[in-house]
A and B are shown apart, each in its own frame.
Chain A
Amino acid sequence: MQEQLNQLIQYCIKGERHSQSKLYALLSPRMFAICLRYSKNREEAEETLQEGFMKVFENLQQFKFAGSFEGWVRKIMVNCALQKFRSKSHLRAVVNIDDVKIEYGDTENISSQLGTKELLQMVQLLPAAYRMVFNLYVFEGMKHREIAEALGISEGTSKSNLSDARAILKKAVVNSAQIAKQNTN
């Protein structure tokens, strides 16, 4: 499998369009899901995906065949999303955390009540700065220091943004769970 992938990469480096198409078909569903998490809507995610794959194909010869190819592509996608975030307007979100009241419900499993798409939509609805910090911390496993460097913010801002993002998401999850429960009843 790995050998086949390496061969496919080699053909892509040579510029064979058919191989590039196959590589895109192989990786695009996973990468598009990542782009969706970093974007506020589907259109923005598609732009990021397109730019990301262009960079992948243009810089494919730089891949050393040492680590995970999917990880390498994923990193490019995340960088594209960050670049887009930096180049666009992203004024700091004003969120009054006091307004966010967390209501703990029953011990039912929320994830069973909420669909993946619902959770994804919650992330997308976060303010851009919060969304970035949340994604980088939760999904990329980055430290606050690294996030601060990547986004050009202070470490304290990163921590604050993550905390606010979590609070907003918790509220959204509880609300959605309650609605789902009511619908069930």
Chain B
Amino acid sequence: MAATPAEYIRHHLQNLTFGQHADGSWGLAHSAQEAKEMGFMAIHVDTMCWSIGTGILFLWVFRKIAKSFSIDKPGHLQSVIEIIFEFVNNSVKTSFHGRNPLIAPLALTVFCWIFMMNLMDLVPVDFIPSLFGLMGVHYMKMVPSTDVNATFGLSLSVFALFLYYSIKVKGPLGFFAEIAFHPFGKKLFFVNIPLESVSLLARPLSHSLRLFGNMFAGELIFILIAALYSAGLAWGAVAGVLQIGWAIFHILVITLQAYIFMMLTIVYLSMAHSSSQH
């Protein structure tokens, strides 16, 4: 399929892009060069499908359990979901200092959805892309959180909620006062504003890039180990052992990153609701 390991790796790092070609026709990109030529206004179809698909799956499973909720005879799935629910509920109770009924469902959605998106990384590298290759679709990245667009979509939505609740709870003047008059006094507002705006803008950036960096690096290591399979049977056995080892470690990374994203969502929205006393 791919002639060199570098080509194999680059092939697996390319998203399925739909956009306008250089000659004006609309369609899927057939090479990385074509995808780059499509520019900014092109959609990564694989990211969209997998992220929306996992979101719908999460909603469907949780709704099914909520509808058939039984106190005397809980099934296995209900017990698992109760554990997750209690875990998120405790996290929100300890970290969120305010009154808002949106936060706990938001935290539950963020945690479960990101966990399910990251979980797609544990499927062996070539399985699904080769199935899609048989159907004529040549690029397929299964993990939406390895696409910067997906992680920025999540963190910019959280940032939008942060701005909305900041202005709603503190008022636009209160929000501006918090930026302009902290940490130094009122007279030094020209020092405060750049400092606080940098720290404000660094939040969605770091929020999304943390998730992206972890998932991208993990997926890249899976692809690099998978490139060993083409080097013969002995190296293939070594690669198999390495894949199992890395996948076991990656289970920790997946859960941890979803948890960190959820905790930071709760903490940022708590900061939007309460004014910090300096």
Q: Say whether A associates with B.
A: no
| B interface residue numbers (CB < 8 A to A) | none
| A interface residue numbers (CB < 8 A to B) | none
